[in-house]
Amino acid sequence: MTDTADHRPIRTFHPRRGRMSSRHHDAHAELWPRFGLTVADGDRTPLDLARLFGTTDPVVLEIGFGMGDTTAAMAAADPGRGYLGVEVHTPGIGNLLALVGEKDLTNVRVAHGDAMELVHRLTPGALDAVHVFFPDPWPKARHHKRRLIRPDNVALLRERLRPGGLLHCATDWPHYAEAMAEVLAADPGLTPAGADRAGRPETKFERRGHQAGRPIADLRFQRR
């Protein structure tokens, strides 16, 4: 989706860089050439996932992986699938690469840039699952257009799933959970698949939500 006033994409995230530790710098320097992918705005070159991973294993897209602990844990427990994580926070990218090295993970690829720009490069039916865990809730009404889970984005994500593929969202903001549920239920190509966490590890954002007394909502929908 673009802003028709100036034709720039409507971002679903705050641009963030932050400072990387020496551990993150070292991991980035060593592992980015093998495991990294830069996402350029406006690039519509089809992305060949089999070539990217070097296998034809099913692929999970992890949008906004934060510091990457959850992505690394799920990839380690699920070696039969590839995990493509996309993030804009550079320390998080460095940390996930460090975890890839420390855990000797070969089924993870790390993308830097706008997740929806990356999704545009994927072919229909390319993904086994999409994870959207604790995205920015953009709580102010005037910012709701920036939310990741909105009808146009959900339609695109659903199209990239194989039939039966899973879209799993989680949030600790009740109003966003209600909005997510409404958007997901309204998509004609999705069907509910349960409201449990289904093996999703606890995240840092989830712990913060618990500490603040906010309920955690997991929303799982399958492509028809």
* Cα of 191 vs its chain's centroid, Å: 20
Using CB atoms within 10 Å of the CB of residue 154, give its burial: 0 to 12 exposed, 13 to 18 middle, 19+ buried: buried
Inside any domain, residue 2: no
CB 163 within 8 Å of CB 199: no
Inside any domain, residue 195: yes
Inside any domain, residue 121: yes
Structural domain of 110: 23-223
Inside any domain, residue 78: yes
Instruction: Give start and end residues of each alpha helix (H) in the chain.
Output: 22-35, 49-53, 69-77, 90-103, 115-120, 151-160, 174-186, 204-211
The predicted pLDDT at position 75 comes to 98
Inside any domain, residue 4: no
Among 136, 187, 196, 218, the one annotated catalytic? 136
Q: Which amino acid is at 36?
A: G
Give the CATH number, domain containing residue 123: 3.40.50.150
Check the annotation: does 204 bind a ligand: yes
The predicted pLDDT at position 122 comes to 98
The predicted pLDDT at position 138 comes to 67
Residue whose C-alpha is closest to residue 118's, from 201, 47, 188? 47
Check the annotation: does 187 bind a ligand: no
CB within 8 A of 182, min separation 6: which ones?
A: none
The predicted pLDDT at position 6 comes to 41
Inside any domain, residue 124: yes
Residues of the chain with pLDDT under 50: 1-7
* Active site (annotated) includes residue 136: yes
pTM of the model: 0.90
The predicted pLDDT at position 52 comes to 98
- Structurally, the chain folds into a number of domains equal to 1
Inside any domain, residue 99: yes
State the CB neighbour count (10 A cutoff) for residue 211.
Answer: 8
The predicted pLDDT at position 5 comes to 39
Query: What crossing angle do the helices spanning 69-77 and 90-103 adopt, rounded to 10°?
Result: 30
CB within 8 A of 112, min separation 6: which ones?
A: 36, 37, 38, 39, 86, 87, 88, 90, 93
Inside any domain, residue 12: no
Q: Which amino acid is at 200?
A: R
Check the annotation: does 26 bind a ligand: no
Check the annotation: does 62 bind a ligand: yes
